[in-house]
Chains A and B, each alone.
Chain A
Amino acid sequence: MATPEVELKRLGSEYAEKYGFRDPEQYVFKARKGLDREVVEQISWIKNEPDWMREFRLKALEYFLRRPMPTWGADLSELNFDEIVYYIKPTERQGSSWDELPEHIRRTFDRLGIPEAERKFLAGVGAQYESEVVYHSLREELKRLGVIFVDMDTAVREYPDLVKQYFGTIVPPNDNKFAALNSAVWSGGSFVYVPEGVRVEVPLQAYFRINAENVGQFERTLIIVEPGAYVHYVEGCTAPIYSAASLHSAVVEIIVKEGARCRYTTIQNWSKNVYNLVTKRAAAYRDATMEWVDGNLGSKVTMKYPAVWLMEPGARGEVLSVAFAGDGQHQDAGGKMVHVAPYTSSQIISKSISKGTGRASYRGLVKVHRGAHHVRANVVCDALLLDEQSRTDTYPYMEIEEEQVSIGHEATVSKVAEEQLFYLQSRGLTEAEAMSMIVNGFIEPITKELPLEYAVELNRLIALEMEGSVG
């Protein structure tokens, strides 16, 4: 873990200054508010899509309109679908060097440190601004090995067979209301293909930025990891602070084939007016490993439960989830493990922190299908409350249809002990520094799994949440 004091001290500023800044709204095309058949057709037309994709979208729109709002989870009553703009095209074309981008967009990503991170420790970068991916890169040597890392729209055009084979198979359009919404209006996101036996040792990163007010971002990501291959995909996101709600509703589908491994890391840092309603699911085949590392710090409301379907013996799934719910936030997060085959194993480790009026809920499912014997599953959820007001709940669902299984479940709720705060303060740490140190210690079992840069980032974001909030 890295929490050097420089990191803490650099945090003179709040979210507003670091991430919450906004550019003037400049775009090539902006759809009108609201969602109907016409808007969906317009999106498809602008993208010049094949018929099958337009049909897919329109079918999905029907599902979306038919399905009721979920009545469980977080409160979505203030989310007004008619007030949202579903598509904004920010630039005429995508750049493969940062210089090709319009000045204001380039400055934004500069300020967010993306080009710098790309130079230092990434194998490839995709940068999405509003509805479209405006920049994409992948190291030459990976291209030569047959690795594909492009935005989803490009993939539809250039790799139609691969896309057609897998798109919507892991998360069908009618899976849930928000998966249906995404399927209807999706735009941007990543397509990753790692050929058999290829190990992408440094992470690929996508960064998602919303700039305009009252908009929705609906990226769509599909990752295919062929037998014996490995990839680590990382996503980050931020937005300016507005009083009106924005909506982010992504779908991520991952296929991890025999003996392959995929790790998907999210550092979600939306501004506190964003509804973040995301469906993420992976299918892991024989001896494959799928790991979700899910950090949720931002947003007004998050509902997200990364899932792994363990399809064949030897498959392994893991969710490491960190949620931080500050004032006014509700993080409803967790994970799902569906054991379809025998001899599969899974682990969910969830660490949540609630502060002030924040509420962190763990919601998880472990399902073992009949016939999936010799399954091992373990769920650990720890909640940390920072004050008297904050709140946490756990909803650990278990559906076990097989007897020869080993299922473990532990849950703890603790408060930051006054003695710990006093101890650290008596060594010269301010209350805020002491608080972030305790919180960073609490999530250390997860940050230690991250590459150093992201561990530092996560700790820094938590310190930021702590600033100006104590005392």
Chain B
Amino acid sequence: MAEHTPLFMIENLHAGIEGKEILRGVNLVIERGEIHALMGPNGSGKSTLAYVIAGHPNYEVYEGRILYKGENVLELPPDERARMGMFLAFQYPTAIPGVTMANFLRLAVNSVRKARYGEDKALTPREFRRLLREKLEMLRMDETFASRYLNEGFSGGEKKRAEILQMAMLEPEFAVLDETDSGLDIDALRTVADGVNQLFNSNMALLVITHYQRILNYIRPHYVHVMLDGKIAVSGGPELAEELEEKGYDWVKTQYAEAAS
């Protein structure tokens, strides 16, 4: 049987910041066409994992590998990972004063397109504007967002929408959404979730970090993982999220403690 390469795989990842270990042996395999949810209490290491996947320079990796399309990406700078088709929707997006969304996106989209599809696959200004308009419409965002400065003065919910707008423009094959649902009102949650579902296809995969069952009613995960103290303590199907909503993390903690002992 030929060796099968999953789209995304984490092996025994130990990582942290300033010598403090936060992730303590994470393992995860994600195939194309799959949606995985990652839940877990505050401070358990979910965002840290997201940052390490994206290549944040402040985080140190002590051990383990992250394989994307079979290649260990840990040695690659964040921009190369992005140009390979990886994407992170930030929990707390950063504002860049003076840089308009449109100018930024045009540079980003074309860097990524050229790297992934070939030098001649950059969008012309007209094609770019059309695509941007289309995606703004899909996310029910006002056209004026194109000329606003990136995340500057955006409301919490607008920032989250803008993250998904970027995802829509960049067409990643593997995306991590870090609490994209928090800060969104009920209608916005629906719009954003609809948007993500439209973008999703069997050739890509998603890792959705969330605290709430609600978004998972729209973006249906195939697998749910619970992170405790820097490790994935429990994994299961979509029913695990419902159980968590009912019983809380203490239930997982006891179960995990029992299993470990």
Query: Which residues of A are interface residues toward B (Cβ below 8 A)?
Result: 1-5, 8, 417-420, 422-431, 433-434, 437-438, 440-445
Contacts and interface: CB of A to CB of B under 8 A. Distances in A.
A427 B98 contact: no
B111 A429 contact: yes
B7 interface: no
Contact of B107 (A8, A417, A420, A441): A8
B99 A440 contact: yes
Contacts of A417: 94
A348 B56 CA distance: 38
Interface stretch (B25-33, B74-82, B136-144, B237-245): B74-82
Contacts of B132: none
B49 interface: no
30 contacts: A1-B100, A3-B103, A3-B107, A4-B125, A418-B57, A419-B94, A422-B54, A423-B90, A423-B93, A424-B96, A424-B104, A425-B77, A425-B79, A427-B82, A428-B112, A429-B79, A429-B107, A429-B111, A430-B111, A431-B77, A431-B79, A434-B79, A437-B99, A437-B103, A437-B104, A437-B107, A440-B98, A441-B96, A441-B99, A442-B98
A451 B81 CA distance: 37
A308 B108 CA distance: 42
Interface string B154-195: 000000000000100010000000000000000000000000
B82 A425 contact: yes
Interface centre among B99, B104, B115 (most CB of A within 10 A): B99
Contacts of B104: 424, 427, 437
A contact patch SS: helix
Interface centre among B56, B58, B93, B112 (most CB of A within 10 A): B56
Contacts of A434: 79
B218 interface: no
B58 A418 contact: yes
B234 interface: no
B166 A427 contact: yes
Nearest to A471: B77
Nearest to A448: B98
Interface residues of B, number: 35
Contact of B78 (A2, A420, A426): A426
B78 A422 contact: yes
A25 B87 CA distance: 55
Contacts of B108: 424, 427-429
A433 B98 CA distance: 15
Nearest to B116: A428
Nearest to A422: B56
A157 to B, nearest CB: 47
B83 interface: yes
A110 B106 CA distance: 30
B79 A442 contact: no
Contacts of B82: 425-428
Given A4-B125, A428-B83, A437-B96, 15 more contacts: A1-B100, A1-B103, A4-B107, A5-B110, A420-B96, A422-B57, A425-B55, A425-B78, A427-B166, A428-B170, A429-B107, A442-B98, A443-B98, A444-B97, A444-B98
Given A422-B56, A428-B111, A431-B77, A5 B106 contact: yes
Contacts of A429: 79, 107-108, 111
B145 interface: no
B122 interface: yes
Interface in B23-73: 54-58
A440 B103 CA distance: 11
A3 to B, nearest CB: 5
Contacts of B99: 1, 437-438, 440-441, 444
Given A426-B55, A428-B82, A433 B103 contact: no
A426 B54 contact: yes
A326 to B, nearest CB: 20
Contacts of B224: none
B18 to A, nearest CB: 14
Contacts of B112: 427-428
A59 to B, nearest CB: 48
A423 B122 CA distance: 22
Contacts of A430: 79, 111
Interface centre among A5, A425, A428, A437 (most CB of B within 10 A): A428
Contacts of B83: 428
A428 B79 contact: yes
A429 B54 CA distance: 13
A3 B96 CA distance: 14
B88 interface: yes
B152 to A, nearest CB: 9
B212 interface: no
B251 to A, nearest CB: 35
Contacts of A4: 103, 106-107, 125
Interface centre among A3, A422, A444 (most CB of B within 10 A): A422
Please list the 10 inter-chain residue pairs (A to B) with the smallest Cβ-Cβ separation, ordered nearest first.
A441-B98, A444-B98, A441-B99, A428-B82, A427-B108, A423-B94, A425-B78, A428-B112, A428-B111, A425-B79
A381 to B, nearest CB: 16
A434 B78 CA distance: 12
A441 B99 CA distance: 5
A205 B36 CA distance: 60
B249 interface: no
Nearest to B92: A419
Nearest to B97: A441
A428 B103 contact: no
A343 to B, nearest CB: 33
B223 interface: no
B170 to A, nearest CB: 7
B140 to A, nearest CB: 22
A321 to B, nearest CB: 16
Contacts of A5: 106-107, 110-111, 122
B79 A441 contact: no
